[in-house]
Structure 1
Amino acid sequence: MITNVFLRYAEDVSTANDIADFYSRYSIEGINISAVSWEFTKQTRRDGSEELLKMMIKKLLSVNDLEGAEMRVVVELSAVQPDSAIVNHKKLWGLLQDRGINVDKVSDKISFLQKQNDGLRVSGTGIIDLSQNGVIGSLINTEISVYFSISRYKFKEIDYGKGRSHWMNETWKEGGVVFFALGFFDEPSCEIVAMGNKKEVRNLIAD
């Protein structure tokens, strides 16, 4: 039984619910997609996000440990980057490495650069071995837009290059679950939300 977290449930994230305004606040569209959030009320995002996310994944997958389990991560830099030789060379993972993140622990790294009038939108994907410590927390605490996906099934590679909405919807179609941290860096609590088909996320609300 889960006793040290506060749970919230949303039957359909496209309607008003007790977790978040997913479309207006996070630009997430999901028709017939449910969500469950877990919150540590006395731990900050910085201190509790990795532990909370791993607790959720263990519950979702019904396993005692995460040895051998892998998870895909998507990171979108919030600030537009200059269209410079350095940014074009380092791309997402090189820029994150400059911030002190151990990107060597992330495998299958891909970066995406999207040119806009004011510079470059930089994003990318990678795979995290869930037995590693510190990687998830460092990513969540360095950028607002960090998303994770996992599945009980072996699902196909999904092209994030077609955009975040496409990636999320294809992940859900394949039976995957998408996670991300709610709120802001300086909030006194830590809350992670899991989004997916009802049959996939319901294990997160069961005793």
Structure 2
Amino acid sequence: MHGRCSALALAALLVAPGVACKPRGSVDPSIAEADQDDAWAVYEALETRIAGGQDSEAERAAALERVRAVADDQTAAYAYARAAVAGRVAEGRGLKALKLLREMQRWALESIERDPSFREMAATRMLGTLYVLAGQHLEQGDSEDGLELLEDVVDAHPEAPVNHLRLAEGYIALGDIDPALASLCVAQRGRGQLSGQEQRLLDGLIDDIGGADLLSCEGQGETP
């Protein structure tokens, strides 16, 4: 996978050996001190650590335990936080991830039900990526459903590079390179708006298609 660091990396997870062991690392005080009654605060604390490349397996596991303990306030934010943190833990669990992926799916769907426009359709983008990369392991949703969801997000918010990044990832994961190129170009032009992890994903996807020299972006992927 050319060193790719996907937000999910689900395909690799589901074939990697799963070992039942204590999560490695310590838990930063920012996780432990996040508002115990606010799932979003826990999610944000974890994402801050991940963005800085400072997180540990133990932190991700602790964050999931924290958000699971928070009472559901029936908001899209709560459901999104539950889905996102479950996905973060799933990234390192190998065969043990399937239950977490189902948890992620459940709460992403719940977030969409509560407010499909929350954070510019972030839950729809998450669910689309999940279905593309791991739909065969879930009871509902497949790769075609996932691509349709990702296309819907791009259509609604074409100005966001991350949406094009995830759509390109979906096409490339399914071996369909040509329709990914325009979105890769949009993501490349908006690279500065992507997180460090998303930039590494972009680099990995460009490697997958044969390198930057083969990605001709002139006239491709122009957003309105």
> Per residue, is there more helix in 1 or in 2?
2
> Per residue, is there more strand in 1 or in 2?
1
Q: Which has the higher contact order (CA 8 A, sep 6+)?
A: 1
What TM-score results when the alignment is normalised by the length of structure 1?
A: 0.29
